[in-house]
A and B are shown apart, each in its own frame.
Chain A
Amino acid sequence: MVNILLQNFKWLNGLLLFMVAMSLAGCNAAVDIDKALEGHLKGPAKIYRHSLRGAPSSLDPVNAATVYSNFIIVNIYDTLYRYKYLARPYEIVPNLAVDMPEVSDDGLIYTIKIKKEVFYADDPAFLNGKGREVIAEDLIYSIKRHFDVSNRSQGSWLWDGKIVGLNEWKDAGSNYNQTIQGLKAVDSHTIQITLFKPYPQLTHTFAMGFSALVPHEAVDYYGREFSVHPVGSGPFKMLRYESSNYALMIRNIKYRQEPIDLSFEGYDPKLHKQYGIDKIAGKSPPLVDALKIDFIKESASKWASFTKGNEINFSGVPVEQVDQILTQKKPTLILTPEMSEKYHMFHTIEAGFVHTDFNMRDPLIGYNDDPIRDKRNKKLRCAIRSAFDWKERNDVFYSGIAVEYPGIIPPVVPEFDPHLSNISTLRNVDEAKRMMLEGDWTKDNVPTLVYGGAASVSTRQIYEQFRGWMKDIGFPEEKVVFDSYASFGDFNKAMKEAKIMIIGSGWILDYPDAQNTLQLFYGPYGSPGSNNSNYNNPEYNRLYEQTSTMLPSKERTQLYRKMNNIVIDDCVSITGLSRDNIFLWHKSVISYPDSGIVGGFHLKFVDMLDEEGK
């Protein structure tokens, strides 16, 4: 009877879906970009329409702290280095730099030559509106800006306390006319950087949006408006920017001509030919005339815009659509015939991971002055971890296609240990109850677990799932509560003030080196630093400091893995899971998208087929 009723109401379901899709799609009405492009493009133009899940917070490189800001900044500005378009694992290569840096034997002096005759895009900020040549001083100026307190840089941590004289320059009042001992231009196209101690990740920092080269003329000309008026020497030039809606860019006609060498970029016919990548060989980026990036937070709206056919060309797949578009999820993902006829698909494990940390500064669950309670707290944390069900988390929230693994070194970095025991990721309720018993924890004396998160449906559901698991090991319902914050900013503030007991969070890697995730548990980086768990283990800290000056080597990898084991043994974080991102794009587009390490760098390689498919 019920089934008959439901069948009769199928039309109602359809109507409801239609209404939701239409209303959400209506929120993102297509803008008339033709008008904006009028006079900038000649003849039939290639316009690629990308989409992002969020809007950039700023387009000033000193504040390129979000994935979205970084994504756009690397297309407007130049960085010294970038990552190969197609090679995986990721490989860093010169971009504006002529070659990889020359490093002195002691690892303290880096000498980097930059390419000659590279020009900034034309802009009213320059004399007569003509962009001038990029010089070594521009990098020095751009790094100095991070240490000018008036800019409130979010990227200064990359070089803080590492370059000789830089912090002193800041302390002396950030006078741009003053030279810095460890940051100088040997000549107009050669930069020399002197470090206090070896910093193997330095080259990676020059592949980030934070280190993009900025012309001082544009900063002076636009002042506070510079964050929305980017002027760089990158492959694209900003034409129109609506901070919460879209960015419309056109090809920078002054961008240097560098024909694509596919074998250098890591081309593998087995992997890449299916996407038509071979067709871009020998062409000089950027390959499209205009690039429009829509910022569409609402997944349904984005999906509607993508599947409509004539709006955005690229979209990630919302988790709720995964089961609809795939015929198979394991061992490999296979699109339904209807979808594969229209779209290309690529999926990749994210350059980051999802984890749930315990706040070790909270005496109820973390460090406690009473040594007995301290040990009991560890038992409690381990019991909670054992009750945690990563498989179910994966099935419910990530369509079962994410990768679960132990510890804090994600699969995307070369230091990942595929042979590490995964016992810490497996749900074992009996083991959890045994540890509760060993710690003398009962339903009457367990502390109230406070799970913090920004107010959103998914965060609340993640908490409710967590509460269900805790109830299974004896926590009363009222002793697992949700601490809801009105916005992510409020949540982040509370996290940085170490006010949250249990913190569900994620981390996107800045560069493909496990050091970037290991630093999340380094004691001196405790709140308000990046170590949100406020973990402070002397042995871990010692190993972190030891490895921080080591170049990649087997020995360093061994030490990294040792640190990973320490975090696992101390039950300081419930880890880990890396999401599998699925991307779809129209068949008229030649692309190999990436949302992580390569990120926005891939856009200059995107090409569009004409009507004849050429």
Chain B
Amino acid sequence: MNLVKKRSTAQAREENVGESMWSKAAYKFRRDRTGMMGLYVVVLYMLVALGVAFGLWGTEWSDNNGQKWEGISFQYWFGTNILGQDIFERAVFSTKTAFEVGLVVAMISTLIGAILGALSGFFSNTWIDEIILWVMGVLDSIPFYLFVAAIAFALSGFAYSMHVAMIATFWTGTSRLVRGEVIKLKNFEFVEAARAVGVPQHTIIFRHILPNTFHILLVQSTIVFVGAIKSEVILSFLGLGVKDGVSWGLMIAESTLEVQAGEFANFYAASALLFILVMAFNMFSDALQDALDPKKVSA
């Protein structure tokens, strides 16, 4: 009797899961071990970044208390750099830098991409669509790092020049995806119905259509997030990135001279932390993409 009852509860849960795309996706995501592992690592990094932001750790990243290139010890877990700075402290502080850049760039570029993509899609084949597509075409035709470096260079006096540069390039990808989705959605019956009862266009776009692209925005924002972190490292390496504080990119840039002197700690610390986060984010992002894919979710 009990066995029958348990089975029917599980069946009921399965049936309930099928009711919403989001709950179905969440269920599917939880079953993806790789994705979950990626999520755990990302959450761990996020906690580290939050700890730095609240001054719980990583506070001594700028102190020059050690000797030049000290080895690994209980005091200096990853050793020290050329200035006698604690490499572990700097690597931990850099987590905050990475999340700050990733979050700011991902949020703003996703927002811009969503709005312009929605407008472009809703007004497809009109002058609004033409202009937005032209802007995106122009931006996309410029080699990415050249364009980012040019903007960062032009705004070099501005503390957030790197953020601006990345946002200016990253939104186009999101925008194209949203545009395609909106073109599909605007012909659905719920939109026709809204039009029929006289709902204003801006309400249709932003309250009826755009919420239905959230699965795209969510996946895209994770991709942008990790892209921003990688770009920050490259730009900082080139001297166009982080102005204040320290980042993995700056640490790798510092290590170029140290490696020639046979000192590798700075390079390994920054590279390893960057590699793990990027890998984890990619795993998380892939699993999320699979979970939110309408074809797979509805299957």
A457–B256 CB distance below 8 A: yes
B243–A323 CB distance below 8 A: no
* CA of A227 to CA of B225, assembled, Å: 48
Which residue of B62, B82, B264 is within 8 Å of A471 (Cβ)?
B62
Residues facing A in B54-107 (CB within 8 A) are 62-64, 68, 72, 82-83, 85
A457–B257 CB distance below 8 A: yes
B239–A464 CB distance below 8 A: no
Give A297 Cβ to nearest chain B Cβ, in Å.
13
Give A295 Cβ to nearest chain B Cβ, in Å.
20
Residues in chain A near residue B258, CB distance under 8 A: 320
* CA of A392 to CA of B130, assembled, Å: 61
Q: How large is the interface on A (under 10, 10 to 19, 20 to 34, 35 or more residues)?
A: 35 or more
B205 an interface residue at 8 Å Cβ cutoff? Answer: no
Residues in chain B near residue A481, CB distance under 8 A: 244
Residues in chain A near residue B256, CB distance under 8 A: 20, 300, 457
B250 an interface residue at 8 Å Cβ cutoff? Answer: yes
Give A354 Cβ to nearest chain B Cβ, in Å.
17
Residues facing B in A1-29 (CB within 8 A) are 2-3, 6, 13, 16-17, 20
Given A13-B262, A457-B256, A468–B63 Cβ distance below 8 Å?
Answer: yes
A464–B68 CB distance below 8 A: no
Most buried by B among A318, A457, A465, A490: A457
Give B237 Cβ to nearest chain A Cβ, in Å.
9
Most buried by A among B240, B254, B261: B261
Give A44 Cβ to nearest chain B Cβ, in Å.
36
Residues in chain B near residue A482, CB distance under 8 A: 243-244
A461–B244 CB distance below 8 A: no
Residues in chain A near residue B72, CB distance under 8 A: 2-3, 6
Main secondary structure of the interface of B (DSSP, over half): loop
B169 an interface residue at 8 Å Cβ cutoff? Answer: no
Number of residues from B at the complex interface, CB < 8 A: 26
A396–B243 CB distance below 8 A: no
B156 an interface residue at 8 Å Cβ cutoff? Answer: yes
A467–B68 CB distance below 8 A: no
Give A421 Cβ to nearest chain B Cβ, in Å.
27
A464–B85 CB distance below 8 A: yes
Most buried by A among B85, B257, B260: B260
B153 an interface residue at 8 Å Cβ cutoff? Answer: yes
A324–B261 CB distance below 8 A: yes
B83–A396 CB distance below 8 A: yes
A468–B64 CB distance below 8 A: yes
Main secondary structure of the interface of A (DSSP, over half): helix
Residues facing B in A287-325 (CB within 8 A) are 299-300, 303, 318-321, 323-324
Give A406 Cβ to nearest chain B Cβ, in Å.
24
Residues facing B in A309-358 (CB within 8 A) are 318-321, 323-324
Residues 491-515 of chain A, each 1 if its beta carbon lies under 8 Å from chain B, else 0: 0000000000000000000000000
A461–B83 CB distance below 8 A: yes
Give B6 Cβ to nearest chain A Cβ, in Å.
48
* CA of A88 to CA of B249, assembled, Å: 45
* CA of A485 to CA of B239, assembled, Å: 9
Residues in chain B near residue A477, CB distance under 8 A: 62
Given A320-B257, A465-B64, A467-B62, A16–B83 Cβ distance below 8 Å?
Answer: no
* CA of A444 to CA of B258, assembled, Å: 37
Which residue of B243, B260, B262 is within 8 Å of A484 (Cβ)?
B243
Which residue of B68, B83, B260 is within 8 Å of A318 (Cβ)?
B260
A323–B64 CB distance below 8 A: no
Give B160 Cβ to nearest chain A Cβ, in Å.
13
B261–A320 CB distance below 8 A: yes
Residues in chain B near residue A465, CB distance under 8 A: 64, 83
B253 an interface residue at 8 Å Cβ cutoff? Answer: yes
Given A2-B72, A490-B156, A456–B261 Cβ distance below 8 Å?
Answer: no
Which residue of B68, B253, B259 is within 8 Å of A17 (Cβ)?
B259
Residues 231-261 of chain B, each 1 if its beta carbon lies under 8 Å from chain A, else 0: 0000000011001100000100110111111
Given A471-B62, A471-B63, A482-B244, A321–B85 Cβ distance below 8 Å?
Answer: no
A20–B260 CB distance below 8 A: yes
A395–B83 CB distance below 8 A: no
**In chain A, what residue has the closest Cβ to B67?**
A395
B82–A16 CB distance below 8 A: no
Give A8 Cβ to nearest chain B Cβ, in Å.
13
Residues 459-476 of chain A, each 1 if its beta carbon lies under 8 Å from chain B, else 0: 011001101110100000
Give B163 Cβ to nearest chain A Cβ, in Å.
15
Residues in chain B near residue A458, CB distance under 8 A: 257
Given A461-B82, A461-B83, A484-B156, A468–B62 Cβ distance below 8 Å?
Answer: yes
B29 an interface residue at 8 Å Cβ cutoff? Answer: no
**In chain A, what residue has the closest Cβ to B253?**
A457
A486 an interface residue at 8 Å Cβ cutoff? Answer: yes
A125 an interface residue at 8 Å Cβ cutoff? Answer: no
Residues in chain B near residue A320, CB distance under 8 A: 257-258, 260-261
A108 an interface residue at 8 Å Cβ cutoff? Answer: no
* CA of A318 to CA of B256, assembled, Å: 13
* CA of A481 to CA of B261, assembled, Å: 29
Residues in chain B near residue A20, CB distance under 8 A: 256, 259-260
A486–B240 CB distance below 8 A: yes
A455 an interface residue at 8 Å Cβ cutoff? Answer: yes
Which residue of B64, B239, B240, B244 is within 8 Å of A457 (Cβ)?
B239
Give A61 Cβ to nearest chain B Cβ, in Å.
32
Query: Can you report 12 A-B residue pairs in the complex whose CB atoms are below 8 A from each other?
Result: A16-B264, A20-B256, A299-B257, A318-B260, A319-B257, A320-B260, A323-B261, A395-B68, A455-B240, A465-B83, A468-B62, A486-B239
Interface residues of A (CB under 8 A from B): 2-3, 6, 13, 16-17, 20, 299-300, 303, 318-321, 323-324, 395-396, 455-458, 460-461, 464-465, 467-469, 471, 477, 481-482, 484-486, 490
Knowing that A323-B261, A464-B64 are A-B contacts, what are 20 other residue pairs whose CB atoms are under 8 Å apart, sorted by A's residue number?
A: A3-B72, A16-B259, A16-B264, A16-B267, A17-B260, A20-B260, A303-B260, A318-B260, A455-B156, A455-B239, A455-B240, A457-B257, A461-B83, A461-B254, A465-B83, A468-B63, A468-B83, A471-B62, A484-B239, A486-B240
